[in-house]
Structure 1
Amino acid sequence: MRSLLKFGRNIGAGVLLTISLGGYLADLTVNAAIFDRSGRKIPDREVNSERVNWQMLSAATDRKYNGIGVIDTNYGVCTGFAIFTGANNLRAPAYVLTNGHCQGRFRKLPTEREILVDRSTETKFTVNYFHDFKPERLTFDVKRMVYGTMKNNDIAILELNVTQGELLKAGIAPLQISSQPPAIGEPLIVVGVPSEGVKEELNFLHAATCKTGELANVKEDVYNWQQSIRHQCSIVGGMSGSPMISRVTQQVVGIINTGVNDSASKQPQCSLNRPCEVVKNNLVQTFPQENYGQLVDRIPTCFDRSGVFNLQQSTCQLERP
């Protein structure tokens, strides 16, 4: 579950330091793997170079991604994105999806067995996070976290203090979540706001491309995600919670959550910032060239016909407390 969450409140001017994940949050500098345009892993220190396989998005040409923005938790920032809940009820609440590790209690994460439901939060969500967006960006208060966990997944579903209708009227485009997991080799675009080590003038929406790899059983500290999506899209701190969008269907098939930090190379395998894979015979192995995401296909089953999140409805496949 790598610290792709980035510390700091000043999201307009970049942020200062990063947190570690697991129990209480520690002051660590972390990134996930970045790659060049030939698919080769390059050192984290080259995050500001033109070699990195990603591009900064523009409000003029990439408006369809304007609902992907910054989650400000008061103790750090992540990426999150507005989601379409499957109904045309404009009075339904607007919802945002991000990582569970972006929504723990102040400076503390959910435990590996914890499922949080209907929790208050002081989180804010800022959209139109393009480098060339001229009007003032829109910031919404999060009314509550309706669901959050790091048990077997790393997701948080946030209810905004506006309706779907109000979100659409503001011109914000929610993303649709696929009801099917991605196929191996499916082409992806990952869109998020990189922060860790990134120059201020680059701290805006970026898009990275790659393909989905095989599912892996990933362990990091006390957390275990048995169906993690391998991928080699360039990811750095601040991009936790970024959508993994199929370039075939244009639907979200996963959510970014972790990867191996270069500076953690001497740490024990499976420790914080150095996730490992559980392979044959319960042996573990670290793959520094892999980043990981989590499946999201069960999330749509928990929204009712009116577009309201309902963990108790019979169709809901998310794990309950």
Structure 2
Amino acid sequence: MNKPLVGAVFTAVLVGTAAVPAAAVSDQAPAPDKRGAQAAPAAGPRAEGARAKAVTFAGTVALSNCSGSVVRVPNSQPTDPALVMSNGHCLETGFPAPGQVIVDRPSSRSFTLLNASGGNAGTVRASKIAYGTMTDTDLSLYELTSTYRDIESRFGIKALDLDAAHPQAGRAITVASGYWKRMYKCNIDGFVYRLKEGRWTWKDSVRYTSACQTIGGTSGSPVIDDATGKVVAVNNTGNEDGQRCTDNNPCEVDENGRVTVRRGINYGQQTYTVVPCVGTGNKIDLSRPGCTLPKPAAAAERR
């Protein structure tokens, strides 16, 4: 995982810092990994024919150990509590175990909201972890104490839109890290049937072309389609050392069980699957038609 900037449970390979899923860093000891000092790589080849929108930092956030963004779905209303999206491995509660799904857990976590240039626009705060898991995907959604209207009125910042459609290979993308205030530009290289890292397995992951050399602390960054300006994935991991299916060294597994290792290649988790699971009032409702996000196995996980 692009390690969350602390040395938590994984070592943060996941787009973060330590050896754990890209953002896998403990919220208690927020400190970026040694790779954090490197400069953002130059942009890679762009998708032909796409008229890129201006991608800025507006709406992205910095967590204590990771990156994230304020997001909305097509049916979100201005008066709804806003949602912040990041990785499951960026949760302050630690990495969810395989099969574990967290819903409606109280949280007072704060997030630094960025403006278009990457400056500090202000602070927003969570009321709860609305959803979090590292099973099938690497995702966390926080419900805020502020509405979208509150945030726009107070800070002049609009939420980023989640695309309701599956992303497309070849599209030009930007991984916008609120933690580092850096942008990584490349293309979607393709999709991975199963991406396995240590104890965790993710489905239909997004593989980037090599120009997106994300680092620890970029975990949880929104992956933005340059042509539409919409979020199509959440950045979460990369293979650091060329190892096979270990922490910080995810491997690709195809439908026939064949394993491929791509050293230096980074990945994100698609987010169109979130859209059907958000109901009235911006509440996460895993029973809604079309919602395929993993569900809690036991009521205990709601505590």
If the TM-score is normalised by the length of the shorter chain, which range does it land in? 0.7 to 0.9
> CA, structure 1 residues 273+86, in 2 after alignment: closer, same or farther (shift >3 Å)?
same
Q: Aligned match of 1:222 in 194, 199, 204?
A: 199
Q: Does 1:97 align with 2:89?
A: no
User: Structure 1 residue 121: deviation in Å?
Assistant: 2.4
Matching residue's letter, 1:206: R
Structure 2 residue matching 1:298: 3-state secondary structure: helix
User: Structure 1 residue 83: deviation in Å?
Assistant: 0.7
User: Structure 1 residue 172: deviation in Å?
Assistant: 1.3
Q: Aligned match of 1:47 in 22, 29, 38?
A: 38
> CA, structure 1 residues 64+294, in 2 after alignment: closer, same or farther (shift >3 Å)?
same
Matching residue's letter, 1:153: T
Residues 96-140 of structure 1 show CA distances to partners (whole Å, capped at 9, x for unaligned) of 1110111152xx31011111111122421111267773xx64111
Alignment correspondent of 1:240: 219
User: Structure 1 residue 240: deviation in Å?
Assistant: 0.5
Matching residue's letter, 1:128: L
TM-score when normalising by structure 1: 0.75
Map residues 23-172 of structure 1 onto 2, 5 A cutoff: 47-48=38-39, 52-53=41-42, 64-72=56-64, 77-87=65-75, 89-103=77-91, 105=93, 108-128=94-114, 133=119, 137-169=121-153, 170-172=155-157
Structure 1 residue matching 2:114: 3-state secondary structure: coil
Is the Cα–Cα contact under 8 Å of residues 114 and 178 in structure 2 kept in the other structure? Answer: no
Structure 2 residue matching 1:301: 3-state secondary structure: helix
Structure 2 residue matching 1:127: 3-state secondary structure: strand
Q: Does 1:6 align with 2:15?
A: no
CA distance in 1, matches of 2:235, 2:84: 14
Alignment correspondent of 2:176: 191
User: Structure 1 residue 302: deviation in Å?
Assistant: 1.6
Q: Aligned match of 2:182 in 192, 206, 214?
A: 206
Alignment correspondent of 1:319: 294
CA distance in 1, matches of 2:239, 2:118: 32
Residues 179-217 of structure 1 show CA distances to partners (whole Å, capped at 9, x for unaligned) of 1111110111111135xxxxxxxx4x2222111011112
Alignment correspondent of 1:35: none
Residue range with higher mean Cα deviation, 309-318 or 295-304: 309-318
Structure 1 residue matching 2:275: 3-state secondary structure: helix
Residues 154-182 of structure 1 show CA distances to partners (whole Å, capped at 9, x for unaligned) of 00111011112101112112111111111
User: Structure 1 residue 144: deviation in Å?
Assistant: 0.6
Alignment correspondent of 1:276: 251
> CA, structure 1 residues 45+305, in 2 after alignment: closer, same or farther (shift >3 Å)?
closer
Is the Cα–Cα contact under 8 Å of residues 21 and 109 in structure 1 kept in the other structure? Answer: no
Structure 2 residue matching 1:190: 3-state secondary structure: strand
Unpaired segments ≥5 residues, structure 1: 9-16, 32-43, 55-61, 195-202
> CA, structure 1 residues 310+210, in 2 after alignment: closer, same or farther (shift >3 Å)?
same
CA distance in 2, matches of 1:45, 1:99: 18
Q: Does 1:180 align with 2:165?
A: yes
User: Structure 1 residue 280: deviation in Å?
Assistant: 6.6
User: Structure 1 residue 289: deviation in Å?
Assistant: 3.4
Structure 1 residue matching 2:63: 3-state secondary structure: strand
Alignment correspondent of 1:251: 230
Count of residue correspondences: 272
User: Structure 1 residue 285: deviation in Å?
Assistant: 2.6
Structure 2 residue matching 1:277: 3-state secondary structure: strand
> CA, structure 1 residues 193+237, in 2 after alignment: closer, same or farther (shift >3 Å)?
farther
User: Structure 1 residue 64: deviation in Å?
Assistant: 5.0
Unpaired segments ≥5 residues, structure 2: 8-15, 44-53, 297-303
